[in-house]
Structure 1
């Protein structure tokens, strides 16, 4: 069997992997900022919810989270008479996004706390509200500092998408396993998969680097 015959199913799987990566990055970024800022809130309820979320999703395995959403949640729903069955795509995106968001939240929190105290003193001198200080002082300085860590998390998210194959989603890993089982050609199949993951990671790394440069220039314009 020539390697070119493997390319079409692997390409379809790679497209699913790319979509999952983009979805998890988008929703993960929302969770990162929401709970990262929430952990710094003076409201103890928001701070408590943020801390619990971050600790739970950082302290448990992504695989367990994925299985819980897909297999255990429907059982819990049946016990209370509510249909909580999630389609595989939805369960995969939720698990990946929440897991990524928990790690990203700590990046956001750390970057905001790293802003010089003198900046906050200047904001108080200008009579800025807490929200104004966050949006006009803290975030413009903190976001560029977050970008290298977010780049690493994005690459991690790409690799973590391979776990969705375990809930029957036809991503790159699932497609590779099907081909391997059918043709019994592990060396060719997994060499192609390795190269495809590397290529996607390289493109994603370059895209994140361009985004990092854009954010750095943006910070220069808002000073």
Structure 2
């Protein structure tokens, strides 16, 4: 019990970094998902090709490698500084999960019944009006459960930022373990507990999103 009391305050020092990376990464991942997902449905071949390349590259390579590329390789090769290791972590996670979620956006829009589009066309709506008023609201409802699941995955992905020196929960856990190897099982158990507690609101939100999506989409 005494060991737990000593470890908890140290791990909690990384709580702010973990949550800030989670919130920022999720925000930019959602943004990238909608931009890339909509661009992949564009009639412009160049735009479709570019976003398709982005999606396949970030889905087909490791997040750790992407993180290292942004933090270590790009500044050396191109002289582009991302400002801090915090931004490197956020951008890497956002680009990675944004690529995955863009497929959710694209498939959800395509899943809306064609009859909806035909009805909107019959009402003399423009393409933009059809998307904004008819298709997109229904597609978003279908996206919610998957977006919730990916947000939980983003939380798990934030643990990788300790590899580039960000002082998150896992970073402090590693420090404690390095000074007292015998406490390693307890330290990492408490790290798991921290991540699970942070994930709980996301789990409940995902279940709520699933119930909303089950209310149906017009057919």
- Using structure 2 for the length normalisation, give the TM-score: 0.91
1:42 corresponding residue in structure 2: 43
2:187 corresponding residue in structure 1: 189
1:96 corresponding residue in structure 2: 93
Deviations 1:108-167 (A, max 9, x none): 000000000011111111121221111111111011111111111011100011110000
Alignment of 1:14-53 (within 5 A): 14-53=15-54
Native 8 Å contact 1:73 1:85 kept in 2: no
Post-superposition offset of 1:58: 0.6
1:24/1:111 CA distance change after superposition, 3 Å: same
More displaced 10-residue stretch of structure 1: 174-183 or 100-109: 174-183
Q: CA RMSD in A?
A: 2.0
Tell me, in whole angstroms, the C-alpha distance in 2 between the residues paired with 1:129 and 1:193: 52
Alignment of 1:201-212 (within 5 A): 201-210=199-208
Tell me, in whole angstroms, the C-alpha distance in 1 between the residues paired with 2:194 and 2:82: 32
Tell me, in whole angstroms, the C-alpha distance in 1 between the residues paired with 2:136 and 2:196: 32
Tell me, in whole angstroms, the C-alpha distance in 2 between the residues paired with 1:167 and 1:95: 12
* SS of aligned partner of 2:3: coil
Native 8 Å contact 1:66 1:92 kept in 2: yes
Tell me, in whole angstroms, the C-alpha distance in 2 between the residues paired with 1:12 and 1:204: 22
Number of residues paired by the alignment?
216
Native 8 Å contact 1:120 1:133 kept in 2: yes
Q: Gaps spanning 5+ residues in structure 2: where?
A: none
Deviations 1:1-50 (A, max 9, x none): 62111111211212211111111111100000110011001122221221
- Using structure 1 for the length normalisation, give the TM-score: 0.90
More displaced 10-residue stretch of structure 1: 200-209 or 30-39: 200-209
Deviations 1:165-221 (A, max 9, x none): 00000111111001111222102111111111111112221134445667888x99x
Q: Gaps spanning 5+ residues in structure 1: where?
A: none
